[in-house]
Amino acid sequence: MNENDAKMRIDELRKTLEYHAKKYYDEDKPEISDFEYDMMMNELKNLEKQFPDLITKDSLTQKVGGHVKEGFTEVVHEVPLQSLQDVFSYDELREFDERVRKQLSDGGAKLKYVVETKIDGLSMAIEYKDGNFVRAATRGNGTVGEDVSNNAKTIKTIPQKLAEPANIIVRGEVFIGSKEFDKMNEEREIQGKTLFANARNAAAGSLRQLDSKITAERPLDIFIFNVQKLENNTFNSHYEQLQYLSKLGFNVNPVKILCNNIEEAINAITKIGDDRESLSFGIDGAVVKVDNLDYREELGTTYKTPRWAIAYKYPPEQKETVLQDIVCQVGRTGAITPVAVLNPVKVAGSTISKTTLHNEDFVKEKDLKIGDTVIIQKAGDVIPEVVGVVYSKRTGKEKEFVMPHVCPVCGAPTVREEGEAVTRCTGIECGAKALYNMLHFASKEGMEIDGLGFSIIEQLYDKGLITGIADIYNLKLEDVASLKKNGKKFAQNLIDAIENSKNNDLSKLLTGLGIRHVGAKTAKNLSRSYRNMDNLMNASIESLNTQSDMGEVMANSIYQFFHEEQSIDLINKLKEAGVNMESLEEESDDKRFEGMTFVLTGTLSKYSRNEASDIIEKMGGKTSGSVSKKTTYVLAGEDAGSKLTKAQSLGVTVISEDEFQDMIS
């Protein structure tokens, strides 16, 4: 490769790596695997090594990728939090050992290594004065990080006071354990929230929350792995320092192996690789560190990395196996996911017999057929995936996979809407969706049953006291009281809340039913228009299509919902339980705002936004979240922002609250 070609490729790699580094470090939303990123970084390093004149200070090979997030106070690290050079083979580890020995004045006569697991999380420095917690900061770009002290205080394994009055700065890795991550994602799925892609993203995103209350809700943990600075330091061994950190009360990395030479270190790395499936936390490699602190001082560092440590990344292991079948699982939100059933095969230390195929499009893109010989890959602790098909082993007897037209759990029809990759179950009484449906039904947006949150619903469900929405209204005082010690008062409050919910407006019930595409605003419009549940259930597609802000997709969704056997059954059960099926809002002949569209912006002092919207809609008007040429009025309160500016630029009439009051009086 000549220099011009090298420069073009280097520029391309830098641009791509900068993009993915931003996604990884700053947004905690990586779009590629660590292995893919590492391979590109390795290619860039090799090209820069071959063409050193092309190295620039802003290259990611010369700096750490993170930046300080807006909203956090900057912290200048007293001792930089450097990154590590990555290697991918044992020969590269031996080369590292040779370099170290050559650089040491005594040839490394007393050279020992400590091998530790490379925790897959977010790096953080914690400072203590006289044994008391002072401050915690993320790595950031290695020199400047973010002050996350309030968030760090919510992590139970970070001591607020040490066993000795030490003045010390330590470095650790914040992470979420494997089981804790799975449970957290399961709860998020039930609550209808976006799932975290992996534990590292979840940990990083949780630690970098501007609201520490959110951080406190996440199961964060930390392993301390280094002393950055210690006043009156008498240690000359990293391994002994780790033992001292444990004595002080820190949660130290549990995998730390003292090795007499590089071959022992390689054996330790191999063993960690073999055992990593049994670890309770995710790793993305192993770290080899020079144990002798005087040697570290002599070896020094580059701008980005220490010369006394190196990170070994486990290569992805690939195996062939047979795709025996593709079965479909129904998630808590009704999403139907195809799952590969495989001839069991051992990959990267674990036996794989099943793995997700994500959705129908993934199966088609990979051209997977039942009976195919496929390649399975598992890099580090990443979920195993089907990489591709071994076409040379196709026999012609393989079968095409077709997504089911009915739910494999409840038999209700499935639907895949235009523009979506997910196929969903439409049954409201589907057992797979039970927890999610009940939680949404009881939510503030739905029937507003105070006290009936995720934990209580889960306990009631696990005890078999409720299996679906209708069962909520069959709960007895003793059922609820049995969930808590001395829980009679709580039980009475919850039973009262359930009873009171029967008197809600029809719009609350419609929201609580979780009809696809129907939110609180549409539910109110439907309640106003049809006045009772029977009228709505009997409404034709044509009638629904004439409703305010009703598109064809939404109208079809509502029509199909009310013609599902499960929906009809549930509504009949709710009627029998005494749940109100009528609109409680007085009908109004006042349509003074008919044909008008309002946009609300800024802080209103005389009404809440919901109150103002209700008034407008009762009088025949519509409310919108965005300003356009079709907007009739913008109702602007204090501190109105971009919507007010846009209204002024488009010539849309802007009114104050006083003017609005005059219009409705």
What are the catalytic residues? 118
CB 438 within 8 A of CB 465: no
Q: Which two tokens stand for residue 502?
A: 């029967």
Starting at the edge strand that comes first in sequence, how are the strands of the sheet with 221-230 ordered?
132-138, 122-129, 168-175, 221-230
Q: Which two tokens stand for residue 306?
A: 């220490």
Helix (H, G, I), strand (E, B) or coil at 319: strand
CB 287 within 8 A of CB 311: yes
CB 34 within 8 A of CB 20: no
CB 207 within 8 A of CB 139: no
Q: Is the dihedral of CA 484, 487, 491, 494 positive or negative?
A: negative
CB 515 within 8 A of CB 561: yes
DSSP per position, 77-106: -SS------EE-SHHHHHHHHHHHHHHSTT
CB 480 within 8 A of CB 490: yes
Q: Distance between CA atoms of 330 and 338, rounded to whole angstroms?
A: 9
Measured in residues, the chain has a length of 665
Biggest CA–CA distance in the chain, Å, is: 96
Q: Is the dihedral of CA 60, 66, 68, 74 positive or negative?
A: negative
Q: Which neighbouring-strand residues pair with 389?
A: 374
Q: Distance between CA atoms of 425 and 415, rounded to whole angstroms?
A: 7
Q: How far is CA 509 from CA 201, 437, 575, in A?
A: 36, 13, 11
Of 226, 357, 354, give the one whose Cα is nearest residue 296.
226
The three-state (H, E, C) secondary structure of 37-82, written as one string: HHHHHHHHHHHHHHCHHHCCCCCHHHCCCCCCCCCCCEEECCCCCC
Q: Which two tokens stand for residue 373?
A: 């010989």
Phi/psi for 253 (5° steps) reads -45, 120
Angle at CA 567, nearest 5°, toward 562 and 569?
Answer: 125
Contacts of residue 191, Cβ cutoff 8 Å, sequence gap at least 6: 436, 439, 454
Q: Distance between CA atoms of 269 and 272, rounded to whole angstroms?
A: 5
Strands 122-129 and 423-425: unpaired
Angle at CA 523, nearest 5°, toward 517 and 527?
Answer: 145
